[in-house]
Structure 1
Amino acid sequence: MATSNPVLRFLESRKNLTGCACGIVGLALAFTGAAGSLWPLVVAGLYAAGALIAPPERPPAPAFPDAAERLDALRADFARLREYLGEVELPAAAAGRLAELDELVEALLAPGWVSDPEQLHVLARAVRQDVLEAVDTFVRTRWWDRVVPGSEPPERHLERQLTALHEEAAALAAALQDAEAIRQQTHTRYLEERGRS
């Protein structure tokens, strides 16, 4: 375990430990008489050589969350998004499209389906950014539409955005379904070939 004290950090370092091991070899040579009267130089030289050949210290690699941890965090964010959406008043068509999207995202976030980082990124972007921005922008634009009427209704944009997000999530679900079908077919072939041999 790394310490903050520089002296202790040096004492625990690979260079010092390797140098000490080589220095002990030098002491063994001195006690056997092989180093002669220059034994202090032999011990110091072997220590220095050991310290030089030792591999450099490497900082510990950062521990990033794995796919399961990221999925758990995404589920928590999805629950918070649902709370927010429950408080927003939406037109019937947009609310229906949002309900379909919500159902599809919930199914994709179920354990055991999405583990690929790219697929997880698509879901995270939809949950943490796209849906929130679409609904929040609708709420703000709707207020301005009441003050300055005559522009294109914000409901239309919201429905189009939710439709695009639903299509993206549906494509992800279709890719997962295809992957599972291929996996099933591969397993069937494997079992059939194993039965023949």
Structure 2
Amino acid sequence: MAISRYLESRKNITGSVCGLIGLALTFTGVAGPYWPAVVAGLYGAGALLAPPERPAVPDFADPSAQLDEVREDFEKLHAYLTDVELSVTAAARLRELTELLTALLDRGWSTELLAQDPEGVHSLSRIVRRDLPEAVDSFVRTRWWTRMTPGGESPELHLEQQLGLMRTDAEHLATGLRETEARRQETHTRYLEEREQQHP
């Protein structure tokens, strides 16, 4: 395998071309009796001067495929969240967040925009796969200890604050997508105006 890779490498190809030049010099009588050294030297020089091999770029999944995976994980998370007992306020904030996430992950209008926004896909993935499950799980564990040893800060208040912060992150993402659409619409308007000016 290593020999096969070298035979196909730039070093071997460039060295071989230079070696052929050495053979041509031999046949024309320029190299004289030292032609083996000339051919070998030109091959070696060509191999050294050849540009280095460039490793292939990893083939990562495109944002659309990543979105599909995030959607699947969100469905699993949604099933988990339905089994968690929350206060009225926390439940309301969780519902607001999950509704916004559902809209962002919808296969309709947002898919095309998010497919062009890897940072947006990363933000959604972070909320669905890490931030939200961690917040709810921490709440459940802390609430159990609070019932065992009352006192201290309410775990519900922390959860409500965390849900609010995550909703703010999701709203920023939605705002960015809306602004992208608005810019595209404005660009199209300017294009039509300029075309009309050029062809009154």
Q: Normalised by the size of structure 1, how large is the TM-score?
A: 0.85
Return the offset for 1:131.
0.9
Aligned residue pairs, count: 193
Question: Which AA in structure 2 matches 1:176?
Answer: L
Tell me which residue corresponds to 1:46: 42
Aligned-pair identity (%): 58
Q: Which of residues 12, 23, 47 is equivalent to 2:8?
A: 12
Tell me which residue corresponds to 2:140: 139
Tell me which residue corresponds to 1:69: 65
Whole-Å Cα distance in 1 between the matches of residues 50 and 171 of structure 2?
55
Whole-Å Cα distance in 2 between the matches of residues 192 and 10 of structure 1?
58
Question: Could you say what secondary structure the match of 1:150 adopts?
Answer: coil
Question: Could you say what secondary structure the match of 1:113 adopts?
Answer: helix
Q: Which runs of 5+ in 2 are unaligned?
A: none
Q: Which range moves more in the overlay, 72-81 or 100-109?
A: 72-81
Question: Could you say what secondary structure the match of 2:60 adopts?
Answer: coil
Tell me which residue corresponds to 1:27: 23
Change (3 A) 1:36 1:151: closer
Tell me which residue corresponds to 2:103: 107
Return the offset for 1:135.
0.6
Whole-Å Cα distance in 2 between the matches of residues 171 and 183 of structure 1?
18
Tell me which residue corresponds to 1:172: 173
Whole-Å Cα distance in 2 between the matches of residues 57 and 188 of structure 1?
47
1:95-134 Cα distance to aligned partner (Å, 9 max, x none)? 2221211111122123123232333332222112211111
Whole-Å Cα distance in 2 between the matches of residues 30 and 120 of structure 1?
62
What RMSD in Å do the two structures reach over aligned CA positions?
2.1
Whole-Å Cα distance in 1 between the matches of residues 120 and 50 of structure 2?
43
